Each structure stands twice: as C-alpha cells, then as structure tokens.
Amino acid sequence: MSLQDDLWSRAQHALPGGVSSPVRAFQAVDGDPIFYREASGAHFEDLDGKRYLDFVMSWGPMILGHAHPTVVETVQAAVTRGMSYGAPCEDEVKLAEKVRDWHPAVEKLRFVSSGTEAVMSAIRLARGATGRDRILKFSGCYHGHSDALLVAAGSGLVTFGEPASAGVPADFTHLTSVLPLDDDAALEAFFADKGGELAVAVIEPLPANNGLLVQRKAFLEKLRALTEEHGALLLFDEVISGFRLGKGGASEAYEITPDLVTFGKIMGGGMPVGAFGGSVALMDQLAPLGPVYQAGTLSGNPVAMAAGLATLQVLEEQDAYQRLESLGQRLEQGLAEASEGRQLPFRLVRVASLFWLAPLGTDAVRSAEALPADFGEAYRPIHSALLAQGIYLAPSAYEVGFLSTAHQEEDVDRLVSALASFAR
C-alpha cells in the first residue's frame, strides 16, 4: 500500500469525508484526493514523491507560487518574534495602509481570519449602518458558509431564499433574497418591490465559484445605481478577485466603487486571513467606536500579517500583473491554436490569471442557470487524463484554475498540449 493510500484510509476514519473542506474529497471527479507532502513554485509532490504541476494553487492564495522565498523568509522571521499577540502590531497597520492605497473602496480595513468571516461581518456592519435587515445575493456566487449566505433561490420569481444546507434555519434565510446573475429585469423588479428594505446587495463582481461567470459591466453598473437609489449598500466580495485582477481588484477593473469590499485568499499569502473595508464613516460604525460588534482572538495575527504584506510587496516589485496577463494570454492563444485542427471538448474562459473550462455549445455563460446540468460529467475524464500526466486541475468542473507568477511558459504549454491531446 502506498503512503498516500494508507493516509487516505486513515483520514476517512479521522475526518468526515477524510477532509477539512468538502471539495477536496474528489467526489465530483474520479480517484482519491492527493495529499501534498511539499510544494514549491508551481509544483508539488505527493506523499509517495510523485510530482505534479499545480493549477489549483490552494484555490487562489498562492499567486506568487508555493513557498515563495521572500514570503517564507519573512514568515520565518515573524514566527521567531512570537506567533500571536492578541494586540496590535506594525504589519497590521502597514497592510491596511497598502490595501487603502491599492483599492478604490477602502479607507479603513478590519482584519479577520477567513473570507467567510469577512463577508459575515461586513453584512452585519451593513445592517447596523442602514438599520435594515434584508440582504440580496445572486445564485452562483459564493460568499463563504455563514448561515445568512448559505441560501438558495426559492421557487417563484423574486422570492425569499431557502436554506442551502441542513442546519440553516429557514427563518434566517427569509431575510436573504436570491436573484439570478445577468438578469436586468429581475433586478429592477426586486428593487421596485423590496429596495426600500434592503441593507446590502452582495455580489462577486467576477463570479469565480460556479465556473467563471463574467458579468456585463452594465449589469454591475445597474446594481450600483439601484442600490444607491434605494439607500442600500453594495458589497463587492473580492475574496478571489482582490489582488488577482490587479491592485484594485475587480472594483478598479470595472471602474465601479462599492460601499464595502471583502478580501481573503491572496491577502494572507497562504495564511488564514480575511478583511473587510469601506469608507471611514461606515467602518467607524464598528466596535470599539460604533455599535456594530465584531472581534477575533487571532485577527491581525502577526505571522499572517507578515505573510500578506510580503505577498503584496512582491506582487508590486515584480510587476506581477503584467506577467500573469501574458501567461493567461499564452494559455488562451495556445488553446485557440490547438482547437484549429480539432474540436476541444470545452471552451476556455479566461480573465487575467483565472481560467475555466466552460461547456461547449454555450456562448458566454453569465449565470448559474445557463449551465447545463450534466456539465460536471464531461469534466471527469479530462481531470483524470491530466492527473495521470502529473497535471493537477481543480477536482470539480465548477472551480476555476489559477496561474501564478511561478508558472513558466513551458508549464502553460504543458497544460495546452495535455488538453489538446485529450481532445484527440
């Protein structure tokens, strides 16, 4: 029995599903999850020493690649100064200042320890600041696993949400309305009916958790205009797009400034970090200055702050966004050329260093509802074929791929030729 097989069988006895987060369990693809033994740059090794080219990159945080030397050195130095203070530290202020300089929506920032916490807390702030209870989300967007957001669209048009998980009380979800993405008429109808009771509309401006559902700028602009008109706030959940599309995330890319923004993933450079930010007037509603309570023992953790700050500094020094865009273009062009002779079984959607293998026969897919139901099945053999060649794509058709500055041209070319030869 391999070390990998042995640990997987132990894991299934010790952890529900053998994992600490469900998508890792490989239920949507064939085979067993891979245990990383170590990771460096764009590659990792499993327990048995098999080497893989990684396009998951911890689901986004590792934009500089695994174990980037500058980040590792900075974290090592930080650890020797103490792992947690429960008190403010210098890097926390520096990281907040940097994000304020980079992101158009941020004047002040509050740190938490995950993306889930960031969105959950930003929503409490929005409710406290507006004195309203209703929130609006869009199906196909993911905002972490807090109760108010684990909500699916109910039956009927513009209706109340229903729990998307056991254990979420229906009473909680009645305050969450769910609309389809890319539907101007539904948006207008909702605001005409419920705009006056809405605290906040939350959206991934570049939805990247149910495929890559690139939105029309006009749809996002309409959402901005309607929230403003009805005295509601707009929250851009930039946990993936933040520091990924550029210094100012999707807000800068779309030239739309939300009232609140949430971060995670890249901001911690691989350590557990989240944050939410907005104007001084809004953020000062938080305790200890204002009436909205929010706290965390490990919030602003010195090691995590050091990792995040080092990551943003390296991104800046390396002119990383240009590099990432050129890698993304190479992937796009490579697949376009590969598809000239033969039909690929998918269509590539790519924005900056994010990519997704979208179903064939669909034009731009902009909403979860536009995805064919059986689309996950077509992905299984692609995933297995690439895994056999040592190329690790996300173990679900609905997850996007991530490029990092550690990926080389030849790594992208390897992905292109593996996908092209699968089509043969």
Ligand X SMILES: *Cc1c(COP(=O)(O)O)cnc(C)c1O
Contact residue for ligand X among 127, 132, 143, 244 (CB under 6 A): 143
Residue 222 appears among annotated catalytic residues = no
Our CB check for ligand X shows the closer of 204 and 259 to be: 204
| 161 lines the binding site for ligand X (CB under 6 A) | no
What is the nearest approach in angstroms of ligand X to the Cβ of residue 213? 12
- If the CB atoms of residues 128 and 207 are measured against ligand X, the closer one turns out to be 207
Show the DSSP H helices in 131-215 as ranges: 170-173, 184-194
Residue 209 within binding range of ligand X, rule CB under 6 A = yes
Q: Does 116 bind ligand X (CB under 6 A)?
A: yes
Which of 91, 237, 259, 411 is flagged as catalytic? 237
Contact between 264 and ligand X by CB under 6 A: the answer reads yes
Dihedral (C-alpha) 344, 350, 355, 360: value to the nearest 10 degrees? -30
Contact criterion met (CB below 8 Å) for 224 and 217: no
Does 267 engage in binding with ligand X (CB under 6 A)? Answer: no
Is 91 among the residues that bind ligand X (CB under 6 A)?
no
Identity of the residue, 44 or 142, whose beta carbon is nearer to ligand X in the bound complex: 142
Q: How many residues bind ligand X (CB under 6 A)?
A: 14
Is-catalytic flag, 237? yes
Span near ligand X by CB under 6 A; candidates 237-245, 252-260, 330-338, 362-370: 237-245
Write out the two tokens for 114: 């995950």
Per CB under 6 A, the list member of 25, 178, 179, 240 interacting with ligand X is 240
Residue 235 dihedral angles phi and psi, to the nearest 5°: -115, 120
Q: Which residues partner with 277 through β-bridges?
A: 109, 261
Nearer to ligand X, 4 or 311 (CB): 311
Query: Coil, strand or helix: which one is 271?
Result: strand
How many CB atoms lie under 10 A from the CB of residue 252?
A: 17
Q: With binding defined as CB under 6 A, does residue 204 bind ligand X? A: yes
Q: Select the residue whose beta carbon is closest to ligand X and give its number.
A: 115
144 binding ligand X? (CB under 6 A): yes
Q: Which stretch binds ligand X (CB under 6 A): 9-17, 113-121, 222-230, 303-311?
A: 113-121
- Which residue's CB is nearer to ligand X, number 128 or number 140? 140
Q: Is the previous residue joined to 258 through a cis bond, with omega within 30 degrees of 0? A: no
- Cα 165 to Cα 150: distance, rounded to the nearest angstrom: 6
Residue 137 touches ligand X, criterion: CB under 6 A: no
How many Cα atoms are found within 13 Å in the side-chain-facing hemisphere of 177?
23
Q: Are 86 and 297 in contact (CB under 8 A)?
A: yes
Coil, strand or helix at 314? helix
Q: How far apart are the first and last CA of the chain?
A: 34
The yes or no reply on residue 210 touching ligand X (CB under 6 A) is: no
User: Pick from 18, 33, 41, 115: which binds ligand X (CB under 6 A)?
Assistant: 115
If the CB atoms of residues 54 and 237 are measured against ligand X, the closer one turns out to be: 237
The two beta strands, 401-402 and 354-358, are antiparallel
Q: Is 85 a catalytic residue?
A: no
Binds ligand X by CB under 6 A, chosen from 57, 71, 112, 119: 119
311 binds ligand X (CB under 6 A): no
Give the closest residue to 149 by CA, choosing from 201, 107, 99. Answer: 201
Which one, 200 or 416, has the nearer CB to ligand X? 200
Least distance (Å) from ligand X to the CB of residue 389? 28
CA–CA separation, 209 vs 353, rounded Å? 15
List, in sequence order, every beta strand (DSSP E) within 223-358: 233-237, 260-263, 274-278, 347-351, 354-358
Q: Which of 4, 74, 114, 294 binds ligand X (CB under 6 A)?
A: 114
CA-CA-CA-CA torsion sign (260, 271, 325, 26): negative
Phi/psi region, residue 38 (left: phi>0; alpha: psi -120 to 50; beta: rest), is beta
Residues that bind ligand X (CB under 6 A): 114-116, 119, 142-144, 204, 209, 237, 239-240, 264, 274
Tell me which residues are annotated as active site: 142, 237, 265
